[in-house]
A and B are shown apart, each in its own frame.
Chain A
Amino acid sequence: GENVEQHPSTLSVQEGDSAVIKCTYSDSASNYFPWYKQELGKRPQLIIDIRSNVGEKKDQRIAVTLNKTAKHFSLHITETQPEDSAVYFCAASPNAGGTSYGKLTFGQGTILTVHP
């Protein structure tokens, strides 16, 4: 099955700095890669996602890059703010459009702390 590794486990930055979180995956059949932000006791919130037919996607201060050959993808947050502090999870899902789509394998999570 799929295995997703996420690094770092904790990340501390100063407000205004950039934050980068990296993930690798093992299953070449995975072709959908979402990133979630989760606050304590709450549901994961989708912040950005990317499909394997593109290499980069950006939404304001958040961007995701995908290297399908190397099987890794990264989350980039620029101009970080204290309210960005949360746990971030990457995930991978196989076969968008297929019956297995939606079965997410999550990374271990990154605790991001943005200091004012």
Chain B
Amino acid sequence: GAVVSQHPSRVICKSGTSVKIECRSLDFQATTMFWYRQFPKQSLMLMATSNEGSKATYEQGVEKDKFLINHASLTLSTLTVTSAHPEDSSFYICSVKTAINEKLFFGSGTQLSVL
């Protein structure tokens, strides 16, 4: 299967700082990437759809100015949590849709803890 790399795997930051998370497809071109958030013992909730070369599409209730998404190339999408607060502490995970066969692959996830 395809390899999707996500970094960092874990980050601890102070309240008010910004954190950037990278999702990279290593062996294929990804026109579309998805960002999910998972709170402890809960399900995965889609935050936004990231399309290469265009603005991301955010799900209802997700603040686009707080969760900045950039998909500048066919292999990299970034999610920046701006001015993070403790309530943003969560597991963030990307998934990638391949252009060729439409298989979906998940990144390894990023555990964000905001103190």
Contacts and interface: CB of A to CB of B under 8 A. Distances in A.
Contacts of B44: 44, 89, 104, 106
Given A34-B104, A41-B109, A42-B108, A104 B45 contact: no
B78 interface: no
A103 B106 contact: no
Interface string B37-53: 00000111110010000
Contacts of B34: 102-104
Interface residues of B, number: 21
A105 B44 CA distance: 8
A116 interface: no
A43 B44 CA distance: 11
Interface in B58-94: 60, 91, 93
B43 A108 contact: yes
Nearest to A41: B111
Nearest to A90: B43
A83 to B, nearest CB: 20
B102 A96 contact: yes
B55 to A, nearest CB: 15
A66 to B, nearest CB: 18
A43 B106 contact: yes
B108 A109 contact: no
A103 B107 CA distance: 15
Given A41-B111, A42-B108, A105 B93 contact: no
B29 interface: no
B15 interface: no
A52 to B, nearest CB: 15
B25 interface: no
Interface of A: 1, 34, 41-44, 46, 89, 96-97, 101-109
7 contacts: A44-B44, A103-B46, A104-B34, A104-B95, A106-B44, A107-B43, A108-B43
